[in-house]
Structure 1
Amino acid sequence: MPDRPPTPVDRVLPTAEARQLMTLVRDIARREIAPAAAAEEDAGRFPRELFTLLSESGLLGLPYDSAHGGGDQPYEVYLQVLEELAAARLTVGLGVSVHTLAAYPLAAHGTREQRAAQLPAVLGGGLLGAYCLSEPSSGSDAASLRTRAVREGRGDWVITGTKAWITHGGIADFYTVMARTGGEGARGITAFLVPADAVGLSAAAPERKMGLKGSPTAQVHFDGVRVPDARRIGDEGQGFAIALAALDSGRLGIAACAVGLAQAALDEAVAYAVRRRQFGRPIADFQGLRFLLADMATRIEAGRALYLAAARLRDAGRPFARQAAMAKLHCTDAAMQITVDAVQVLGGYGYSADFPVERYLREAKVLQIVEGTNQIQRMVIARHLLGPESR
Structure 2
Amino acid sequence: MADRIPRTVYDADHELFRETVRSFIAAEVEPHDEEWERRGIVDRSLFRAAGDAGLLMFPTPERYGGAGVDDWRFNAIVDEEFGRAGYASAGLSLALQNDVVGPYFLDLTDDGQKARWLPGLTSGELVGAIAMTEPGTGSDLSGIATTAVRDGDHYVLNGTKTFISNGQNADLVVVAARTSPDRHRGLTLFVVERGMPGFERGRNLEKLGLHGQDTSELHFSDVRVPVANRLDTEDGQGFFQLMRNLPQERLSLAVTAVSAAEGVLARTLEYVTERTAFGQPIGSFQNSRFLLAELFTQVDVTRVFVDRCVELHARGKLTPVQAAEAKWWASELQVKVADRCLQLHGGYGYMREYPVARAFVDARIQTIYGGTTEIMKEIIGRDLGL
Give 3-state SS (helix, strand or coil) of 1:208's partner: coil
Q: 5 Å matches for 1:41-52?
A: 41-52=37-48
Q: In the alignment, what sits opposite 2:244? A: 245
CA distance in 1, matches of 2:104, 2:182: 22
Give 3-state SS (helix, strand or coil) of 1:204's partner: strand
Equivalent position to 2:229, from 228, 231, 235: 231
Q: Report the Cα offset of residue 7 of structure 1.
A: 4.6
Q: CA 1:374–1:68 in structure 2 vs 1: closer, same or farther (change >3 Å)?
A: farther
Q: Report the Cα offset of residue 64 of structure 1.
A: 4.6
- 8 Å contact from structure 1 (residues 13, 19) kept in 2: no
Q: In the alignment, what sits opposite 2:17? A: 21
Q: In the alignment, what sits opposite 2:259? A: 260
- 8 Å contact from structure 2 (residues 126, 171) kept in 1: yes
Give 3-state SS (helix, strand or coil) of 1:98's partner: helix
CA distance in 2, matches of 1:313, 1:215: 30
2:176 maps to 1:170:
no
CA distance in 1, matches of 2:120, 2:352: 39
**What are the Cα deviations for residues 203-234 of structure 1, in whole angstroms up to 9, with x where unaligned?**
11111111111101111001111111111111
Q: CA 1:380–1:120 in structure 2 vs 1: closer, same or farther (change >3 Å)?
A: same
Q: In the alignment, what sits opposite 1:148? A: 147
Q: In the alignment, what sits opposite 2:198? A: 200
- AA at the equivalent of 1:46: V
Q: CA 1:246–1:214 in structure 2 vs 1: closer, same or farther (change >3 Å)?
A: same
2:266 maps to 1:270:
no
Q: CA 1:261–1:38 in structure 2 vs 1: closer, same or farther (change >3 Å)?
A: farther
CA distance in 2, matches of 1:260, 1:318: 22
- AA at the equivalent of 1:327: A
CA distance in 2, matches of 1:192, 1:297: 44
Give 3-state SS (helix, strand or coil) of 2:135's partner: coil
Q: In the alignment, what sits opposite 2:79? A: 82
**What are the Cα deviations for residues 125-168 of structure 1, in whole angstroms up to 9, with x where unaligned?**
42111111111111111111011111111x21111111111011
TM superposition score normalised by structure 1: 0.92
- AA at the equivalent of 2:15: R
Kindly report the root-mean-square deviation, in angstroms, between the aligned alpha carbons of the 2 structures.
1.9
Between stretches 61-70 and 301-310, larger displacement belongs to 61-70
CA distance in 1, matches of 2:369, 2:297: 24
Give 3-state SS (helix, strand or coil) of 1:30's partner: helix
Q: In the alignment, what sits opposite 1:123? A: 122
Q: CA 1:270–1:35 in structure 2 vs 1: closer, same or farther (change >3 Å)?
A: farther
CA distance in 2, matches of 1:335, 1:266: 10
Q: In the alignment, what sits opposite 1:94? A: 92
Equivalent position to 2:211, from 210, 213, 216: 213
- 8 Å contact from structure 1 (residues 56, 126) kept in 2: no
**What are the Cα deviations for residues 329-374 of structure 1, in whole angstroms up to 9, with x where unaligned?**
0110010000001101111111111211111111111111111111
CA distance in 2, matches of 1:83, 1:171: 23
Question: Which structure 1 residue ranges, 5 or more long, are not aligned?
Answer: 1-5
CA distance in 2, matches of 1:271, 1:182: 57
CA distance in 1, matches of 2:101, 2:143: 20
Q: In the alignment, what sits opposite 1:3? A: none
Matched pairs, number: 381
Give 3-state SS (helix, strand or coil) of 1:302's partner: helix
- AA at the equivalent of 1:207: L
**What are the Cα deviations for residues 108-132 of structure 1, in whole angstroms up to 9, with x where unaligned?**
1222332233212222242111111
Q: In the alignment, what sits opposite 1:310? A: 309
2:178 maps to 1:160:
no
- 8 Å contact from structure 1 (residues 303, 331) kept in 2: yes
Give 3-state SS (helix, strand or coil) of 1:178's partner: strand
Between stretches 306-315 and 33-42, larger displacement belongs to 33-42
Q: CA 1:36–1:112 in structure 2 vs 1: closer, same or farther (change >3 Å)?
A: closer
CA distance in 2, matches of 1:225, 1:297: 51
- 8 Å contact from structure 2 (residues 48, 123) kept in 1: no
Q: In the alignment, what sits opposite 1:37? A: 33
CA distance in 1, matches of 2:316, 2:127: 27
Q: CA 1:42–1:180 in structure 2 vs 1: closer, same or farther (change >3 Å)?
A: same
Between stretches 158-167 and 308-317, larger displacement belongs to 308-317
Give 3-state SS (helix, strand or coil) of 2:212's partner: coil
CA distance in 2, matches of 1:350, 1:63: 41
- 8 Å contact from structure 2 (residues 51, 122) kept in 1: yes
Question: Which structure 2 residue ranges, 5 or more long, are not aligned?
Answer: none
CA distance in 1, matches of 2:124, 2:43: 17
Identity of aligned residues (%): 32
- 8 Å contact from structure 2 (residues 47, 124) kept in 1: no
Q: CA 1:210–1:120 in structure 2 vs 1: closer, same or farther (change >3 Å)?
A: same
Q: Report the Cα offset of residue 73 of structure 1.
A: 4.7
2:54 maps to 1:58:
yes
TM superposition score normalised by structure 2: 0.93
**What are the Cα deviations for residues 4-36 of structure 1, in whole angstroms up to 9, with x where unaligned?**
xx5578754544332221110011122332344
**What are the Cα deviations for residues 20-75 of structure 1, in whole angstroms up to 9, with x where unaligned?**
21110011122332344345424434232222211211112135544544441522
CA distance in 2, matches of 1:12, 1:116: 37
**What are the Cα deviations for residues 216-262 of structure 1, in whole angstroms up to 9, with x where unaligned?**
11110011111111111113100111111122111111112212322
